[in-house]
Amino acid sequence: MGLENLFEPGRHFSLQVTAKSQGRRLDQFLSETNLNLSRSQAKNLIQKHLIFLNQKPTKPSTHLRMGDLVSGSLPEPKPLSLEPEPLPLTILYEDSSIIVIDKAPGMVIHPAHGNSSGTLVNALLYHCKDLTGINGVLRPGIVHRLDKDTSGLIVAAKDNEAFQHLTKQFKNRTVDKVYRAIVHGTFNRVEGLIDSSIGRHPSQRKRMSIRTKKGRSAITRWRKIEEFDNCTFLEILPQTGRTHQIRVHLSSIGHPVLGDPLYGRKNKPGAIHDSGLKECVKKLNRQALHAQRLEFTHPRTGEKVHFVSPIPRDMSEVLEWLRSRAR
């Protein structure tokens, strides 16, 4: 397989199929080149007749033969319809490929129906002036998410190459993520593992659950850092990345995250009765969950990079109250 010219958006490219690649589907073949296309992207472009086989339109499922010529071009990235917004960001690291943010609680990551402003994407569109396009759109590439009221580290890609590289790392579970959480109750073990599939709750659509027929594999490791009378400070190492995974898993074993409005103990047996702790949680006004550490391979340099975010002040104040109460 050889490139006649390095691909750039809007420029023509040609690829010669070698013996190594014969028999592959066309969309699969394209996803394995340095064009930085996912298989779904390649399929879409083939169906739009922007990529050709031996100078003729074809199907994504066409199997290649040695000597075939794959050619075409991609359109220039289109601007995203969202408005850039000068929102405050705590940036821990940035280069031409990636940006690492220490997200404050209360910020939604990605726009959704009825929520097109005030998000991390809006802020990044304003801040990043060197976006080269992700999936054909000038936008930051969000490869993982944090819940609105979870604080801490998140990495975003600034070009398609970085986006594809990071996406594969998260998919292959080679990204190390470490969280901190304050949870209800105490443990009789120092560490443990929760291995329960997670899927959409059968009746409450905003919730996820381990009691579902169509769950996806989810694994969470936990380790006890500090224990108090009725709460525990935990280190959490999620091995997978399902929606609400940490919150669902901890709630499923009877130790929901303190202050969690969706999976917590509000108006349930085991709810907080201590007036001082109640006041702390009310002031916290969110789940006590923080993405503290993040380690991955830099998509351009190939080196391991490591980032740490300190425990935010609101969670620190809860811990200080618990410690003072214990003393």
Where does the pLDDT of residue 41 fall: very low under 50, low under 70, confident under 90, or very high at 90 and above?
A: confident
Instruction: Tell me the pairing of strands 289-297 and 151-157.
Output: parallel
CA distance 52 to 181: 52
23 to 20, 27, 33, 248: CA distances (angstroms)? 9, 12, 15, 44
* pLDDT of 269 above 60: no
pLDDT at 1: 38
Q: What percent of the chain has pLDDT over 90?
A: 60
9 pLDDT higher than 70: no
Q: Choosing from 147, 149, 260, 314, which is the catalytic residue?
A: 147
pLDDT in tens, 182-192: 999 999 999 99
Note the pTM of the prediction, 2 decimals.
0.77
Cα(196)–Cα(211) distance, integer angstroms: 9
The yes-or-no answer on residue 102 being catalytic is no
pLDDT at 268: 54
**Confidence grade of residue 136 (pLDDT, cut at 50, 70, 90):** low
Mean pLDDT score across all residues of the chain: 88
Q: Does domain 176-326 have CATH number 2.60.420.10?
A: no
Q: What is the pLDDT of residue 114?
A: 63
Could you say which architecture CATH assigns to the domain 2-72? Roll (3.10)
pLDDT tens digits, residue range 153-183? 999 999 988 998 999 999 899 999 999 999 9
Q: Where are the domains of the chain?
A: 2-72, 78-161, 176-326
What integer pLDDT is reported at residue 6 of this predicted model?
Answer: 41
78-161 and 176-326, same CATH topology: yes
Tokens describing residue 147: 């819940």
Q: Can you identify the CATH homologous superfamily of domain 78-161?
A: Pseudouridine synthase (3.30.2350.10)
Q: Does 327 score more than 70 pLDDT?
A: yes
Query: Which has the closest alpha carbon to 3: 199, 308, 11?
Result: 11
Cα distances (Å, whole numbers) of residue 124 to 80, 106, 109, 120: 12, 16, 10, 6
Give the residue, 206 or 208, on which the prediction is more confident. 208
Q: Residue 205 has which token pair?
A: 């659509």
Cα separation of 54 and 119, whole Å?
A: 44
